[in-house]
Chains A and B, each alone.
Chain A
Amino acid sequence: MTDQAHNGEKVAWTEQELAEIEEIASRYPSRRSAMLPVLWMAQHKFGWLSLPVLELVAETVGVPPSEARAVASFYTMLKKKPTGRYVLQVCHTLSCALNGAEEIIRHIESKYDFDENGNTPDGLFTLERVECLASCGSGPMMQVGEHYYERLTPEKVDEILAGFESGEPLPTPRPEADEWQWNLQS
């Protein structure tokens, strides 16, 4: 895929999505504020933000395409390139690093052939090093989809990734720390 992907495909909203966008825009005194919500919607729908998709967003929000591109470029979670089906976002900031984040990252790297964009050739995985995800007490940790996998060990990573390889769906998003946090145990 190239940056021109989504060309030729029909890049458009459904009636229902348009209604949703209008509802979102009505929450703010300025339509421009719907920019991030609409960028998120576009990313969920099209997988990533190619130029045709960004043009659609710009038109929807009522700004020039260059504005949508500039905003999208500012935020790391908005994907300007295609990613694998499971994006493994491993935190490598201080608290996680103190508890072995690098070991986890090296372990994942040793399992697959990642290209320079961090993607595996089969399109299954993308590996990303990310900064602190507010789960510092339960590191090392990674986010996949919306789920936080916490207190990782190489063995736990093997188990999680084997699940993905066999096509397991992503779990219902929640932090796992719920189950072990000391002062929350009654």
Chain B
Amino acid sequence: MAMEPSILTSRWKIPDAHRIDVAMKHGAWATLPAALKMAPGEITQVVKDSGLRGRGGAGFPTGVKWGFVPPPEKRNGKPVYLVCNADESEPGTFKDRYLMWKDPHMFLEGIVISAYAIGAKAAYIYLRGEFGFVRRRVDEAIAEARAKGFIGRNILGSGVDVEVYTHLGAGAYICGEETALLSSLEGKKGQPKLKPPFPAVEGAWRAPTIVNNVETMAAVTWIVGHGAAAYREFGTEKSPGTKLLSVSGHVLKPGVYEIDMGIPMMDFIMDTAGGLRPGRKLKAVVPGGSSVPIMTPDEVARATIDYESIHEVSGSYLGSGGMIVMDDTTDLAEGLANLLRFYAHESCGQCTPCREGTGWMFRILKRVKEGRATDVDLATLKNLADNIHSKTICFFGASAAMPVQSWLKKFPDEFFGRVHRTGKVGYADVGAEPPGGDKPGGTTQAAK
């Protein structure tokens, strides 16, 4: 088994690494003094050169995003804010919680460095409401760092001020979406807004705001400390660096792992994550949080874990790195119904296609699962998903549509095998390859 890199997780095995004196013995806060001697633009350049892509799901290049903050003369006197997205609500994703729990100083240092780079004097960490205990740990770490002069006014005598605050959500998946998160931070319902304007131009309190994921912030600490070239020694040309994966489902060693991007996906599942239970076969993998398209075992065997390969091989995405592994005991109709219940529950209700469509898709899938649906329902399902994707204010609609589209397309037997066949609908109507003998409208006898 290949050596697993340990650049974001280097202190995770050290007892009490969440305490600043322990963390500092192992390198914490050693990068900040050097960073404060660099010009803000130089830091942004290092992050750009590193090729770091946002670890919250969308994979947008971090340095490029920072570059969208308007220069001071174009801000109408508005300050700049940094917001760290610690909402972590995408099913299958639990890496940020580990990172904050095991080594809060790693991402806090990145927050202070990033705030300095973009010119923000205040940074807010938005944690999902269920993370009260994580928040307490992060607050303690902030207090420790403040006492040492790493956070607050005139940091280490540099004249730079950065305050860091935690802010607790209250139970709403959508608050992970950046514009919804900012609405929530402003004390409103967590409803997304149309982009543009992007938060980097007009975000929290209508001021330029950079939103970055917890893992992104931790990576910034390492990159600024070790340089862009050192970071690029990990990963691939287009997906540089390491990635935290949280793996769950039917593997023997679920958990959070740091990987060198570009490693074969099947090896990761079968070796690192412990493989499947004895005698079981792989049925499917959702590689990057519940919203991304599903992968077949054949696709898994051909893919490496990086942004490009996953997409080229399967049309799916690395997303948040929340990998859900399903073996041959899994009932995919039930699995998809489970996910659609989630999306129907979490739709914020602003956009009609999403509000009505997610509930409708869930109700159909519930009937499929219970054996009370027909093949016409499957075509309706596909049609609904197609009409939600890209037709809503935020990406939530697509997040609910992609599972439906991909599960039907790649595993049609799992669904057609569960419904009453009228013969009016075939595999092609749900976007799937017709198997031998199955053509639209011609399968009534065969299915009976």
Contacts and interface: CB of A to CB of B under 8 A. Distances in A.
A138 B12 CA distance: 18
A105 to B, nearest CB: 13
A184 interface: yes
A55 B387 CA distance: 41
A95 B172 contact: no
A121 to B, nearest CB: 26
B359 interface: no
Interface string B169-191: 11111000000000011111110
B165 A27 contact: yes
A174 to B, nearest CB: 6
Contacts of A93: 91, 290, 338-339, 342
Contacts of A92: 338
B346 interface: yes
B442 interface: no
A186 B13 contact: yes
Interface in B68-116: 79, 88-94, 96-97, 101-102
A36 B170 CA distance: 7
A11 interface: no
B330 interface: yes
Contacts of A173: 132-133, 136
A134 B167 contact: no
Interface string B243-256: 00011111001111
B91 A136 contact: yes
A29 interface: yes
B414 to A, nearest CB: 15
B119 interface: no
Nearest to B349: A74
B324 A95 contact: yes
A131 interface: yes
B170 A78 contact: yes
A35 to B, nearest CB: 3
B60 interface: no
Given A36-B184, A77-B130, A186-B13, A134 B88 contact: yes
A19 interface: no
A100 to B, nearest CB: 12
A136 B326 contact: no
A155 B253 CA distance: 22
Contact of A32 (B169, B187, B339): B187
Contacts of B185: 33
A75 B170 contact: yes
Interface string A150-186: 0000000000000000000000011101100111111
Given A36-B184, A95-B248, A132-B92, A137 B170 contact: no
A37 interface: yes
A174 B169 CA distance: 18
Contacts of A30: 186-187, 205
A147 interface: yes
B338 A94 contact: yes
Given A94-B324, A98-B330, A132 B91 contact: yes
B138 to A, nearest CB: 13
A98 B326 contact: yes
A40 interface: yes
Given A134-B130, A174-B133, 19 more contacts: A30-B186, A40-B168, A76-B170, A76-B172, A93-B342, A94-B91, A94-B92, A94-B342, A95-B248, A97-B335, A98-B249, A98-B326, A132-B290, A134-B93, A136-B93, A137-B247, A182-B253, A183-B256, A184-B12
Interface of B: 4, 12-13, 79, 88-94, 96-97, 101-102, 122, 128-133, 136, 163, 165, 167-173, 184-190, 205, 207, 246-250, 253-257, 274, 290, 322, 324, 326, 330, 334-335, 338-339, 342, 345-346, 348
Interface of A: 27-30, 32-37, 39-40, 61, 63, 70-71, 74-78, 92-95, 97-99, 131-139, 143, 146-148, 173-175, 177-178, 181-186
24 contacts: A30-B205, A35-B187, A36-B168, A36-B169, A61-B187, A71-B187, A74-B190, A74-B348, A75-B129, A93-B338, A94-B91, A94-B324, A95-B324, A97-B334, A98-B330, A131-B89, A131-B342, A132-B89, A132-B92, A134-B88, A134-B96, A136-B94, A146-B132, A184-B12
Q: What are the 9 closest A-B residue pairs judged by CB atoms, nearest first?
A: A35-B187, A77-B171, A137-B254, A173-B133, A75-B170, A76-B171, A136-B248, A95-B248, A32-B187
